[in-house]
Structure 1
Amino acid sequence: MTTADPSATSSWLVVDHPLTSAAAEDLGRRPGKAIPDAVFGADDRRFGLLVGLVITLLAAITRFWDLTQPTDKGTPVFDEKHYVPQAWQVLTGGNWIEDNPAYGLVVHPPVGKWVLALGEAVFGYGPLGWRIMPALCGIGIVVMVYCVARRMARSTLVGAVAGLLAICDGVLFVQSRLGMLDIVQTFFVVAAFTALICDRDQMRRRLDTAYSDGIAHLSPYGPRFGFRWYRFTAGVMLGLACGTKWSGIYFVIAFTLMSLAFDVAARRAYGITRPWRGVAVRDVLPSTLSLAVMPVAIYLATFIPWFASETSVYRYQAQASTTGVLGWIPPAWRSLWHYQSGILKFHEGLTNSAGNHHPWESKPWTWPMGLRPMLYAIQTGPDRCGDGECSRVQMLIGTPAIWWFALPVLAWSLWSFVGRRDWRYGAALVGYGAAFAPWFANIDRQMYYFYATTMAPFLMILTALCLGDILHRAGHFPRRADGSPPDRQFLVVGFVAVYLALVIVNFAWLWPVLTGVPITREHWHAEIWLPSWA
């Protein structure tokens, strides 16, 4: 094997067969299907940065506004009552791990509680302390949705639409204002997805350089690539997602397959003779190490404090048992296995048939359109509403102007991917499917609408891509004889503008029941649009 001349290509390329420069040039530029245009993201970087700053500012204003409300008389609400005290125990116990089963439901890995503990370390044990980090995660999600949609569509406008939808989505908004784990996991999932989209562009840029240099076809498998930092970053984020909640494993599987599909498509696009074999030889092992093995290693690494502590939950559960098939395994690892098995048993037993019912539970077929929201907090009594009765209500409601259009958006996205081979829709559908489809494996399990938090960013991206398609088609309408745009172009652009205005108005209307603002009982009843919301 001979390495390519450094003067001809970069250090990350290695070729397997020495050829003359003339032969290499002939292979690198052989006739056939045209290669893709060398466009990797939107080209208006300065304007894109300005729009991104505006999106970030709007996200910060909405997420930080009156962040300390509502509370249950100064204490956490709903599932905050589990994770907020556990985060405080992690922070104050001296071991960075839960060591008191009395806190209850120690059934999730520690990463999400570490994140909550960071806020509590700065602002103390109070609403601001346990909600500041989820708010920052929510802002980060909005920014990443803007960036990744902009990169996928090669359009700052489409990215801005996606960012606006993410700002105005009730699910992402409410979850960003509570000390729970779902928004933390969603942050890591979206970060992994963003990194893999960047990795896709980077690999195509490298292939384009190799093609231009005439060395792309020196091997029938295509060129080798060096270390892929974006893919490595995605693996780290997936490991942290699994270290927050077990459902991160679904994204590990889905994103690993998606990354390999990107590699196959890239090699095919640049005319590599054996793209599938090339991916099998060159990409499967490093992709598996980065996106599958490393998340497992990171997950286990999150339990280092558990191993180091003398008082962590179930730390010595298997200490006395040295017999049996697994007797050769060190007691600490058997205790960890017992701990993880107990978590699995807890989740398996959390079923309706076992008598576990909740008045606000929902099944996954209701999630795409948000037909069964979640009531987090409710307080009634006189409260700045004059002499009448007031209510502070906080509900997890997906903005209907977005979520009620989910089915046509998904249908168009599926058609665009299958019928038009539009990779952008396929990538976003992978993320949406990994967040949605696995929950159908056990319908009897007790489930809640907040499980759909990881679906929301991908729904925003898909909706923005659909609106981008509408605007793109409007731009190709034939002009009038005098060169002016046709009326139907104004109608289409107006339709998109009116829809986005409707989203903003809908979000503003729901604001009181998303934030727990004191409202009259009549106002609250006016916010309930469907019987299933009550």
Structure 2
Amino acid sequence: MRATDTLRGWIVTAVLAVIAALTRFMGLGALSDKGTPLFDEKHYVPQAWQMLHNHAMEFNPGYGLVVHPPLGKQLIALSEAVLGYNPWGWRVSSAIAGVICVILIVRIGRRLSGSTYVGALAGTLLICDGMFTVVSRTGLLDVFLIMFVLAALLCLLLDRDQMEDRMWATLRAGTTFTSEFGPRWGFRWWRFTAGVFLGLTMAVKWSGLYFVAVFGVLSVMWDVALRRRYHVSRPWVGTLRRDTFPAIASLALLPVGLYIASWWGWLRAENAVYRHAGISDAWWSTFVPRSLQSLWYYHQQMFDFHSSLTNSHGYHHPWESKPWQWIASIRPLLYYYESGVEPTNGPHSCEPEGCVQAVLLLGTSLIWWVGIIMLLWALYRVITRHDPRYVVVLCGYLAAWIPWLLNWDRQMYFFYASSLLPFICLGLALMLSELDGWVPETPSPEAQPWRHKWAAWGQSVLLGRVIVCVFMGLVIANYVWILPILYGVPISPDLWRLQHWLPTW
């Protein structure tokens, strides 16, 4: 089923984009650490500025090491080039990416479910999450990763629907069954575009590689399901023979090629880190350009860095967390803290201690806590109903979460979980849309009177819709409550303590 309310869909998208822009850009440049960037902005913001003056690459750090691909920092550099080296320049690119993420998730929710309502719920939930607010208001890399992941997913959904249209066209033309493998579908521009975005995802952070693998398999499985649904005699073999190689080309080879191309600044530099290191004299070295040999050596050093950044090697941080804590936003991350700050809302508001000013990377609790229920519901729907909508939700969630479980000893932080969030919001939107139409069933005549009264009341007020409205209202209230510690607004020490609902916060 596809949504047909095109105008309403774009109006909803535009309204939520405006709200997202207001909440991303409001006071965006107001906070700094005594004029310097916050938290890990101290790495990426200066590196982005260096890229503006060093042919799109960071300065050689000598004995240091730059441990992430260049694209995310190049995107930060775009706003620095326009606005300068200041808090606005550091963060405007991230804020724009945050608005784009909201637009994308609305369109994905609508495309996935055939309902503008689901898209609106997903977009509202994403706007109202505390983690997403912080990552889209700071000069870090994660919001760009989310943006490209969502863009790739939307393109794959568009490709899926386009192939459905092409299959239907072959059925009407009577050519579906001319081969036991089913029809050929021609070049698939949407899948090609998805491959472009997946390549950009890897060029922001290596964790994008897992989305390449999962989304590639998901796309091929959609092809198999489509051929089976149209009763092609040999759907699996048909997919292998006619779809698999084009899928590998678009969703594997293309992303890898774009990832390598994202290092163009490093490849053309002569003084970049490890630019002339790792040259081999083995027989195969005559076939591999020296620049690519050095790039491979550089990646080995990056991999060694990430592999050795473990607790067992002595790396500890007071705000680190583990993947099993991310599921419920149990252990947030403190980006900035200053006590004894002058109040901005009256001379006596924080006496006698002075105000507290802090930025805490904290998910909106209701979204993350109810998100656990959503995951269980999604598993139930996939196992019992084979619901393809929840397959997408679970695949995206697992691509963002499972890889971190493979190296649980690594030093990790809550912002690594930011790419989980879009799939939590999509799953919640789907679950809430199902709950919206629920009403209590009419009991049998022999049932107790209170059950009849309950059913009659629930049916009269559309109980499911009431629950959805109450939940969304509580989410918004929860978000407003934590806004001061997302924006770094000076608050009293008492209010700061009240913001901490759990001992681990």
Name the TM tier (shorter chain).
over 0.9
For 1:8-157, list aligned pairs within 5 A.
39=1, 41-93=2-54, 95-101=55-61, 104-157=64-117
Provide structure 1 residue ranges, at least 5 long, that are not aligned to the other structure: 1-38
Q: Which secondary structure state, in structure 2, belongs to the residue aligned with residue 419 of structure 1?
A: helix
Q: Which secondary structure state, in structure 2, belongs to the residue aligned with residue 532 of structure 1?
A: coil
Q: For 1:291 and 1:264, locate their aligned partners in 2 and report how far apart those are by CA, in whole Å.
A: 16
| TM-score, length-scaled by structure 2 | 0.93
Q: Within the alignment, does 1:361 sit opposite 2:320 as a pair?
A: yes
Q: Within the alignment, does 1:426 sit opposite 2:391 as a pair?
A: yes
Q: For 2:275 and 2:281, locate their aligned partners in 1 and report how far apart those are by CA, in whole Å.
A: 18
Q: Within the alignment, does 1:458 sit opposite 2:416 as a pair?
A: no
Q: Within the alignment, does 1:336 sit opposite 2:298 as a pair?
A: no
Tell me, yes or no, if the aligned pair for 2:153 and 2:194 is still in contact at 8 Å: yes
| 2:448 corresponds to | none
1:477–1:89: structure 2 CA closer, same or farther, 3 Å change rule? farther
Q: Within the alignment, does 1:392 sit opposite 2:352 as a pair?
A: no
Q: Which secondary structure state, in structure 1, belongs to the residue aligned with residue 119 of structure 2?
A: helix
1:245–1:476: structure 2 CA closer, same or farther, 3 Å change rule? farther
Q: Which secondary structure state, in structure 2, belongs to the residue aligned with residue 150 of structure 1?
A: helix
Q: For 1:119 and 1:92, locate their aligned partners in 2 and report how far apart those are by CA, in whole Å.
A: 14
| 1:241 corresponds to | 201
| 1:521 corresponds to | 493
Q: Which structure dedicates a bigger proportion of its chain to helix?
A: 2
Tell me, yes or no, if the aligned pair for 2:440 and 2:458 is still in contact at 8 Å: no
| TM-score, length-scaled by structure 1 | 0.88
Q: For 2:166 and 2:293, locate their aligned partners in 1 and report how far apart those are by CA, in whole Å.
A: 46
What is the count of residue pairs matched by the alignment?
487
Q: For 1:472 and 1:247, locate their aligned partners in 2 and report how far apart those are by CA, in whole Å.
A: 38
| 2:306 corresponds to | 347
Deviation per CA, 1:357-393, whole angstroms, max 9, x where unpaired? 0110000001111000010011122232524210111
Deviation per CA, 1:258-278, whole angstroms, max 9, x where unpaired? 000111111111111111111
Counterpart of 1:65, as a letter, is M
Tell me, yes or no, if the aligned pair for 1:42 and 1:155 is still in contact at 8 Å: yes
| 1:490 corresponds to | 462
Counterpart of 1:353, as a letter, is S
Q: For 2:426 and 2:64, locate their aligned partners in 1 and report how far apart those are by CA, in whole Å.
A: 37
| 2:449 corresponds to | none
Counterpart of 1:457, as a letter, is P
1:394–1:81: structure 2 CA closer, same or farther, 3 Å change rule? same
| 2:170 corresponds to | 210
| 1:405 corresponds to | 370
Q: Which secondary structure state, in structure 2, belongs to the residue aligned with residue 360 of structure 1?
A: coil
Counterpart of 2:463, as a letter, is L
Counterpart of 2:208, as a letter, is G
- Root-mean-square deviation (Å): 1.9
| 1:531 corresponds to | 503
Q: For 1:144 and 1:392, locate their aligned partners in 2 and report how far apart those are by CA, in whole Å.
A: 33
Give 1:252's match in structure 2, choosing from 199, 212, 218. Answer: 212
1:327–1:46: structure 2 CA closer, same or farther, 3 Å change rule? closer
Q: For 1:373 and 1:529, locate their aligned partners in 2 and report how far apart those are by CA, in whole Å.
A: 12
Structure 1 residue 104 displacement after superposition: 4.7
Q: For 1:103 and 1:473, locate their aligned partners in 2 and report how far apart those are by CA, in whole Å.
A: 62
Deviation per CA, 1:253-295, whole angstroms, max 9, x where unpaired? 0000000011111111111111111110110000000001111
Structure 1 residue 322 displacement after superposition: 4.7
Structure 1 residue 70 displacement after superposition: 2.2
| 1:308 corresponds to | 268
Deviation per CA, 1:278-321, whole angstroms, max 9, x where unpaired? 11011000000000111110011111221111111111123xx5
1:340–1:277: structure 2 CA closer, same or farther, 3 Å change rule? same
Q: For 1:145 and 1:211, locate their aligned partners in 2 and report how far apart those are by CA, in whole Å.
A: 32
Tell me, yes or no, if the aligned pair for 1:195 and 1:230 is still in contact at 8 Å: yes
Tell me, yes or no, if the aligned pair for 1:475 and 1:489 is still in contact at 8 Å: no
Tell me, yes or no, if the aligned pair for 1:413 and 1:462 is still in contact at 8 Å: yes
| 1:436 corresponds to | 401
For 1:256-335, list aligned pairs within 5 A.
256-318=216-278, 321-324=279-282, 327-328=285-286, 329-335=288-294
| 2:447 corresponds to | none
Provide structure 2 residue ranges, at least 5 long, that are not aligned to the other structure: 444-451
| 2:478 corresponds to | 506
Q: For 2:249 and 2:441, locate their aligned partners in 1 and report how far apart those are by CA, in whole Å.
A: 45
Instruction: State the percentage of identical aligned residues.
Output: 45
Structure 1 residue 181 displacement after superposition: 0.6
Q: For 2:422 and 2:65, locate their aligned partners in 1 and report how far apart those are by CA, in whole Å.
A: 28
Q: Which secondary structure state, in structure 2, belongs to the residue aligned with residue 109 of structure 1?
A: coil
Counterpart of 1:348, as a letter, is S
Q: For 2:343 and 2:271, locate their aligned partners in 1 and report how far apart those are by CA, in whole Å.
A: 45
Structure 1 residue 251 displacement after superposition: 0.5
Tell me, yes or no, if the aligned pair for 1:70 and 1:377 is still in contact at 8 Å: no
Tell me, yes or no, if the aligned pair for 2:438 and 2:462 is still in contact at 8 Å: no
Q: Which secondary structure state, in structure 1, belongs to the residue aligned with residue 11 of structure 2?
A: helix
Counterpart of 1:491, as a letter, is L
